[in-house]
Amino acid sequence: MAWVLTLAATAPARADEGMWPLDKVPVDKIKAAYGVTLDQAWLDAAQAAAIRLSDGCSGGIVSPEGLVATNNHCVAECAQGLAGPGRDYVRDGFLTNARDEELKCAGLQAEALLSIIEVTDQVRAAAAGKTGEEFSRARDAAMALAEVAACGGEAGLRCQAISFFRGGQYKVYKYRRYADVRLVFAPEQAASAFGGDPDNFNFPRHGFDVAFLRLYVDGRPAATPRFLKWREHAPTDGEVSFIVGNPGSTDRQLTVAQLETQRDLTLPFGQLQRAELRGRLTQFSTESGERARLIAPALASIENSYKAIQGRQKALNDKDFMAAKQAAETALRARIAADPKWSVEVGDAWDRIARAQVAALDLFAPVRQLETGAGGGSDLFYLARLLVRAAQERDKANADRLPEYVDTRLPMIERRVLDTQPDEPTVEQIYLEQWLLKTRELLTVDAPQVRVMLGRESPAALAEKLAHSRVGDPAFRKALWQGGIEAIEDSNDPLVQLVRRTDHGARVARAAWEKTVSGPVDTAAEKIARARFALLGDTDYPDATFTLRLSYGKVAGWRERDGLVAPFTTFGGLYDRATGAAPFAVAPRWLKARAKLNPDTVFDFVTSNDIIGGNSGSPVLDAAGEVMGVAFDGNIHSLGGAYGYDGARNRAISVSAVAVSEALAKVYGRNALLRELTGP
């Protein structure tokens, strides 16, 4: 029933709800709730030290020499990339003793937010009076112009125009960009991911999911005089907590009709395929230790997304939650209907969205299997499609291309084509076969697109050929990229040919979807968003957009079916929970250090902050702005946060700063790093 209290459209966000942009933090509300005043200096300090990582994570600067605290799962790809024969940094950890041992993470970039620039009026003005595709183009052009205007040509900056409230507001976020980010400290996976999939999104938790990076400029550690102080005492029950980071995406402003589509169609559709693929990968991994190692990242990723989607599904299946959403929608509609201007402007927007959902019933399976989810996760397919489509689209004028292939995007696509490293063929083959099997099942054998796809071959036999495509060879890809459409059309590679012969069906499915579902929905949603914004004022927070936000809350357990869940775990609890069998086997270094560690040290803790994926690695700050921990997960109820915040149960999970300090000293012996964090 907690939902009912927090979701009414006309009520302000309650309790600890909200992912607040840094230029509209509700300081009065926070003061009223917690007696803490966040003055501009506090907010500026938090913003100056907040980091956005290009792999979809967050972090916080914690020393004057560019040291950044984040999660180990945020640097796993970096650690894996640095590994080589005889060096498995994911399994063993990556521990440096001196600056010259810090190694660059290939492709990882960091950004620090400098300022937020309001550009709503100019974007609106450019698009005024236009509709449909013309509207989109004018808006996009105005946003691009605003980015250029804000950043000028200055090196080391990045400007990004963002649409908030689905078109209700436009702002440019201006960042300082760090292109040289190096790995300083990453613990062994057995410590950071202790509990594995069973403990993921659960609490009590005993994960040492912390890692340190360092920002470099001109080959030297960046000077970062504005950094966050690492706190030396444990979080306490009920203490106020602030999390500053970049929540990736939420869907809190969808209509009830759209939520029902997610509940009944899109989430189950994807989840059933995910479950079956997970079963295949699990079985594959049981065949040998080498296979288990090979498949581990793919399996962990699918387990994580499986659980995340289960959490979202659970929220949507909650009748109270949906009733609250319905009540909020009804209230907003009434409010708009009562307004002479906006009732005309919005018109039948909700009904148009609802009608699009009916169309989605038939159009979703083709667009999912042939276009948005084509290849079923195969990197090879992804690369082959980029090659084929880029060659096709480059021959067209910019205005006629698929938007992801316009000139300004081509350099990024080229980099992806040349740099992406596909999986082993055995793994690629599983993804491809599974995709072919399910596409045949879901669209039926008699669908023309399926006949074109399979010809007279079985999914298994075709997938085996595709998995050995030469697209796996970077030189082959380079030749195709440079050869353009002629090279593509001449190629006898089975995967290139598959992509070519299925491309027409995929484009048709996509066009049908955009024309009948996503196009009408976007247009209608923007009308609603603008009305909402105009009528309710700028006091609400927008859906997450992987931009910097502050959330507030407190250290607090919650009530679960069978009792209260305490807000803390301790080092002692780690050893109690261990069984010796993975994923509940304590890492050797931690076994050895057991006697030295204080069993009562707070290890992980939960807070009521409203965060979501993308917030991984965010610093958790106290009233004084000191780092009390690093956020790395949410509990199972936080997953419903995609659609709405339930203050009674939604919890963020963090590793405490004191646990990090004690482990650096007693488990890892990283005294230089510890001194950099806490001072001499």
- 492 near its own copies (CB under 8 A): no
- Binding its own copies by CB under 8 A: which of 133, 348, 351, 362? 362
- Binding its own copies by CB under 8 A: which of 102, 180, 188, 199? 199
Tokens standing for residue 464: 């085996």
- Binding its own copies by CB under 8 A: which of 461, 511, 591, 624? 461
Instruction: Report the distance separating Cα 16 and Cα 623, nearest Å.
Output: 15
Instruction: Report the distance separating Cα 409 and Cα 416, nearest Å.
Output: 11
Instruction: Report the distance separating Cα 451 and Cα 446, nearest Å.
Output: 7
8 A C-beta contact, residue 195 and residue 206: yes
- 317 near its own copies (CB under 8 A): yes
Omega cis (within 30) before 187: no
Sole window of 261-269, 469-477, 515-523, 622-630 interacting with its own copies (rule: CB under 8 A): 261-269
- 421 near its own copies (CB under 8 A): no
Instruction: Report the distance separating Cα 364 and Cα 233, nearest Å.
Output: 52
- Binding its own copies by CB under 8 A: which of 80, 97, 301, 444? 444
8 A C-beta contact, residue 318 and residue 325: no
How far apart are CB 31 and its own copies at their closest, in Å? 38
Tokens standing for residue 490: 């001449």
- 280 near its own copies (CB under 8 A): yes
Site for its own copies in 639-658 (CB under 8 A): none
Mask: binding to its own copies, 200-219, rule CB under 8 A, as x and -?
Answer: --x-x---------------
How far apart are CB 6 and its own copies at their closest, in Å? 21
- Binding its own copies by CB under 8 A: which of 395, 441, 490, 600? 441
Is 129 exposed, middle or buried (CB count within 10 Å of its CB: 0-12, 13-18, 19+)? exposed
Instruction: Report the distance separating Cα 158 and Cα 150, nearest Å.
Output: 9
CB closer to its own copies, 238 vs 268 = 268
Q: CA 163, 168, 169 angle in degrees (round to 5)?
A: 55
- 156 near its own copies (CB under 8 A): no
- Binding its own copies by CB under 8 A: which of 271, 304, 516, 518? 271
8 A C-beta contact, residue 448 and residue 298: no
How far apart are CB 279 and its own copies at their closest, in Å? 2
Locate tokens 């966040």: which residue?
38
Residue 652: closest CA among 678, 622, 632: 632
Evaluated on CA atoms 43, 49, 53, 57, the torsion sign reads negative
- 424 near its own copies (CB under 8 A): no
DSSP secondary structure code for residue 398 in this structure: G
Separation in Å, CA 355 to CA 269, 352, 517: 20, 5, 8
- 265 near its own copies (CB under 8 A): yes
CB closer to its own copies, 275 vs 479 = 275
How far apart are CB 283 and its own copies at their closest, in Å? 4
- Binding its own copies by CB under 8 A: which of 238, 279, 403, 679? 279
- Provide the 10 A C-beta neighbour count for residue 36: 15
Which parts of 521-601 are beta strand (E)? 549-554, 558-560, 563-565, 568-570
CB closer to its own copies, 263 vs 470 = 263
Sole window of 17-25, 83-91, 224-232, 434-442 interacting with its own copies (rule: CB under 8 A): 434-442
Residue 138: closest CA among 127, 147, 128: 127
- 591 near its own copies (CB under 8 A): no
- Binding its own copies by CB under 8 A: which of 144, 272, 418, 591? 272
**Which residues of the chain form contacts with its own copies (CB under 8 A)?**
195, 197-199, 202, 204, 264-265, 268, 271-273, 275-284, 286-287, 313, 317, 362, 430, 434, 437, 440-441, 444-446, 454-458, 460-461, 561, 579-582, 584
